[in-house]
Amino acid sequence: MKLILLGPPGAGKGTQAANLINSLNIPHISTGDIFRANIKNETELGKEVKSYLDEGRLVPDELTTRVVWDRLDQEDCKDGFLLDGFPRTIPQAEALKQGLVERGLKLDRVINVDVEKDVLVKRLAGRRVCKNCGATYHVAGKPTKVEGICDVCNSEVIQRDDDKEETVLNRIEVYENQTKPLIDYYTEEGLILTVDGTKPIDELSGEILDALK
Ligand code: ADP
Ligand code: ADP
Ligand code: ZN
């Protein structure tokens, strides 16, 4: 299965990905996670992308596409992958398509997680993530069992810098302008599966898995 999770920031892409990969047995590839790991480890890539993430702007297409192909060309992606947060622009989608064609591969489905703006703002404001393992929580909707401590690995959970209010609005606007056109793009390719991202987390995962059968 070669899948893409598409949707605005806060739609629940990462949350769904964490559920889906257990059943689908494919690697979860999140460009946001890759960038954040590189920033944390102060790599060259991390230094290059930090200001974009801080400001909620998109990392340039060429650099992002290169990072994604470095990952997709690894052995564990041979039988499939779940892309989360890539592509985010038409040029990225074109570059993905071209790379797949060159490798004799094609996408199976693009899961479009639909959530309206008001809900997104509340979700991002309340999102908390584990510093260590990246597990995602919400202060109201999906709290940790012990306040401030990750259920999975007992590390500290924090708010992402780019989940502060002004950056959030920026990111939603970037989505509207640059990423939303991908819904039409993948509809034309006959790949879109639109799901209601306001459903409860596990119910939605079940619905996606059924649709993929
Ligand atoms: P969210 O899950 O809230 O949508 P991500 O973790 O996917 O956020 O992305 C965080 C940030 O990483 C983005 O605001 C952007 O700066 C950068 N980023 C992630 N994916 C891409 C991409 N495909 N193209 C450009 N920038 C990206
Ligand atoms: P994305 O990766 O699309 O930016 P996340 O998966 O990080 O989104 O989810 C954003 C926030 O919304 C998190 O705090 C998460 O716990 C919460 N969330 C995700 N899916 C749902 C859902 N179906 N219902 C309620 N809250 C959700
Ligand atoms: Zn953790």
CA of 30 to the centre of ligand 1 (A): 8
Cβ pair 132, 151 in contact under 8 A: no
127 is catalytic: yes
For the chain, give the percent of residues with pLDDT over 70. Answer: 100
Cβ pair 67, 36 in contact under 8 A: no
pLDDT at res. 166: 85
The two structure tokens encoding residue 1: 């299965």
Partners of 157 in the β-ladder: 130
**What lines the ligand 1 site, CB under 6 Å?**
9-10, 13-14, 31-32, 35, 52-53, 56-59, 64, 85-88, 92, 162, 171
| pTM, to two decimals | 0.96
Count of CA atoms in the C-beta half-sphere (13 A) of 199:
13
pLDDT at res. 27: 98
66 is catalytic: no
Q: pLDDT tens for residues 93-128?
A: 999 999 999 999 999 999 999 999 999 999 999 999
Which bound ligand lies closest to the C-alpha atom of 172?
Answer: 1
Q: How far apart are CA 177 and CA 27, in angstroms?
A: 29
Q: pLDDT tens for residues 29-81?
A: 999 999 999 999 999 999 999 999 999 999 999 999 999 999 999 999 999 99
Shortest CA distance to 64 belongs to which of 41, 47, 43, 89? 89
Which bound ligand lies closest to the C-alpha atom of 133?
Answer: 3
- Catalytic-labelled residue, pool 13, 71, 123, 128: 13
pLDDT at res. 124: 97
Give one DSSP letter per residue of 81-131, joined into a string.
Answer: EEEES---SHHHHHHHHHHHHHTT----EEEEEE--HHHHHHHHHHEEEET
| Residue 159: Cβ-neighbour burial (10 angstroms; 0-12, 13-18, 19+) | middle
The two structure tokens encoding residue 50: 């930090």
57 is catalytic: no
Beta strands in the chain (DSSP E): 2-6, 28-30, 81-84, 109-114, 127-130, 136-138, 157-158, 192-196
pLDDT band at residue 24, thresholds of 50, 70 and 90? very high
Q: Is the CB of 14 under 6 A from ligand 2?
A: yes
pLDDT at res. 9: 97
Domains of the chain, start order: 2-115+173-212 (3.40.50.300)
pLDDT band at residue 165, thresholds of 50, 70 and 90? confident
